[in-house]
Chain A
Amino acid sequence: MSDVQNLSLIKSIKNRKSRTPYLLLIPGIGWLFFFFLFPLSTLLATSLQKPAGASPDDGFLPAFKVSNYSLALVEYYPQFIRAFTYSAIATIVCLLLAYPIAYYMAFRARKYRNLMLVLIVAPFFASFLLRTNAWKTILSGDGFVVTFLNSINLLPQGRILNTSIAVIAGLVYNFLPFMILPLYTSLEKIDSRLIEAAGDLYSPPSQSFWKVVWPLSLPGVVSGTLLTFIPASGDYINAELLGSINNKMIGNVIQSQFIDLRDYPTASALSFTFMAVILVMIYLYIRRAGTENLV
């Protein structure tokens, strides 16, 4: 092939390259634009609507009723605070439970590593609702767990079901794999010779952990905590199945306002506030943690 032909081939590849990424993106990004971003804007519009009549069946009219927000927040701020408190506690407990097992899998498990991975993902293959419901059986009043904890007087209310402990425990259970997997991925990338080197230089184990392993595992910690905290804060299944009326989270309120009460403007105002709070929190958290590559 002559040089001229070669040159034209390179050129044609370059030209192609410049258009291909956009062609690849159009369907998927277009989809997300129409069914993710655009609905968020209708959510915003709905949150400002006013009722057309006395009952929700009369529908709602476009308006700019900002008071939907203040009214909703005044009424439902306890559920907001509860949602963030529960999910923050659940996230911390998940981190404490997940780190040792992720560490074990990354540095010690050797031939059992894949088996452990399968067992961690396995719960996903049985229904989320059914698994949460199974905790009702495990934590029931005549079950082993409650009887044991009561015999050593560890339960102030004498029961677990229908308390905040049950809801938080349910959240921990449901989102634990989302913490273990990213932690494992980032721990597994660490060269174990670095830990040996720290030991050779007379660093006590605790110091080699905090100075070598922990900093290198931070990307996993960041994505794990986000993957746990975000879905946990919006969850309403655990509160519904395992909690009492006093344990309702913001997800429960949004769900019942939308589906049962059909007060769409209030529900939308709550959803939009919730979304905004989450995004601000993620932004601050990521900026503080200094991680950019989340996807």
Chain B
Amino acid sequence: MNTVIKIIREKTLQVFSVLILFYLMLPLLVIILLSFNKPKGRQNTSWNEFSLDAWTNICRDQTICRSFSTSIQIGLLVTIIATILGTMISFALIRHRYKGRGTTSLFVFLPLATPEVILGASLLALFLNIFIPLGFWTILLAQITFTISFVVVVVNARLAGMDPRLEQAAMDLYATPFQTFRLVTLPIALPGILAAALLSFSLSFDDFIVTSFNSGRIVTFPIYIWGAAQRGIPPQVNVIATIMFVGSLLLVLLASLISKSRKAKV
């Protein structure tokens, strides 16, 4: 009797988990499906007819592709700057004991505890008060600001699990501090830093709320979608989203294959 109850419980848990995964995937399936749709009117929200038009002619509306490339440019710059700044903070927080460490840690946590509307609004208030024109650079400043803390969290998690004796051993073997950093610390921290960079890019690329406050006339990809949502999102947007989605899945797959083959070699 007990084993029957146990099996039922285990099965329920399993079925529930699969249903949750399906729930998370459902909108993605809709997005991908509608990229092959030929919408009846302007609204691409219900299935009408199979068509490859959107796939063969992605840049028919040039604003789509222009906004996409703007988002990629901003994303890359944000990733580079935020990853460097955040990683430096993380090294200070985890690898060093110094006065004011608790305060810095709390200060870095604050942007994460701030709703995005407030981050966007406060930067807009600043730019308005000191008469900085809104545009590419204000988007960049705003996005870096909220990305830094996420980088710190991710790199922290990696560094906290690192054995400090490895660095001491390197020092004992007469490695200079710089050599220790380059040959021991950095390789161990690298997966964390790369994960943080990937997260930064996706945060930046997908950000709408903070960006919409500080964008001026610049149109990023999410801002294009927001504007188009009222009059109907063209299927080309679904095509780009599908490419981004499948591309990043392949990237993750590739990364896991590489790390597996490396482990196999060791």
A residues whose Cβ falls under 8 Å from a Cβ of B: 13, 16-18, 20-22, 24-25, 27-29, 31-32, 35-40, 42-43, 45-46, 97-98, 100-101, 103-105, 108-109, 114, 116, 118-120, 122-138, 140, 142, 173, 176-177, 205, 226-227, 230-231, 233-237, 241, 251, 254-255, 258-259, 264, 267-268, 271, 274-275, 278-279, 282, 294-295
> Which of B110, B122, B148, B226 is the one whose CB lies under 8 Å from A42?
B122
Find chain B residues with CB under 8 A from A127 CB: 206, 221-222, 225, 237, 241, 244
| Least Cβ–Cβ distance between B209 and chain A, in angstroms | 7
| Least Cβ–Cβ distance between A66 and chain B, in angstroms | 18
Are A140's CB and B45's CB within 8 A? yes
Find chain B residues with CB under 8 A from A126 CB: 27-28, 31, 241-242, 244-245
Over the window 93-125 of chain B, the binary record of Cβ atoms lying under 8 Å from chain A Cβ atoms (1 yes, 0 no) is 101101001001101111111111111011111
User: Among the listed stretches B50-58, B72-80, B81-89, B184-192, which one makes contact with chain A, having 4 or more residues with CB under 8 Å of it?
Assistant: B81-89
16 contacts between A and B (CB under 8 A): A22-B98, A31-B85, A32-B149, A35-B144, A36-B111, A36-B145, A46-B129, A100-B16, A120-B21, A122-B28, A124-B202, A129-B208, A134-B31, A137-B34, A138-B27, A264-B125
Q: How many A-B residue pairs have CB under 8 A?
A: 255
Dominant secondary structure at the B interface? helix
Find chain A residues with CB under 8 A from B124 CB: 258
Find chain B residues with CB under 8 A from A295 CB: 93, 105, 108-109, 112, 149, 152-153, 156
List B10-40 residues whose CB lies under 8 Å from chain A.
10, 13-14, 16-17, 20-21, 23-28, 30-31, 34
| Least Cβ–Cβ distance between B160 and chain A, in angstroms | 10
- Can you name 9 extra interface pairs (CB under 8 A) apart from A118-B252, A278-B114? A22-B98, A25-B89, A32-B107, A36-B110, A39-B126, A128-B208, A137-B30, A140-B46, A274-B115
| Least Cβ–Cβ distance between A235 and chain B, in angstroms | 8
Chain A residue with Cβ nearest B81 = A31
Are B89's CB and A24's CB within 8 A? yes
Find chain A residues with CB under 8 A from B252 CB: 118
Are A42's CB and B129's CB within 8 A? yes
Find chain A residues with CB under 8 A from B26 CB: 134, 138
3 closest pairs, A vs B, by CB?
A234-B115, A134-B27, A39-B122
> Which of A29, A128, A271 is the one whose CB lies under 8 Å from B122?
A271
| Least Cβ–Cβ distance between B256 and chain A, in angstroms | 7
B residues whose Cβ falls under 8 Å from a Cβ of A: 9-10, 13-14, 16-17, 20-21, 23-28, 30-31, 34, 45-46, 84-86, 88-89, 91-93, 95-96, 98, 101, 104-105, 107-119, 121-126, 128-129, 141-142, 144-145, 148-149, 152-153, 156, 171, 177, 202, 206, 208-209, 212-213, 221-222, 225-226, 229, 233, 237-238, 241-242, 244-245, 248-249, 252, 256
Are A259's CB and B122's CB within 8 A? no
Find chain B residues with CB under 8 A from A233 CB: 115
| Least Cβ–Cβ distance between A43 and chain B, in angstroms | 4
Find chain A residues with CB under 8 A from B13 CB: 100, 103-104, 108
| Least Cβ–Cβ distance between A157 and chain B, in angstroms | 20
Find chain B residues with CB under 8 A from A231 CB: 115-116
- A108-B128 Cα distance, complex, nearest whole Å: 54
- A103-B104 Cα distance, complex, nearest whole Å: 33
Find chain B residues with CB under 8 A from A129 CB: 208, 222, 225-226, 229
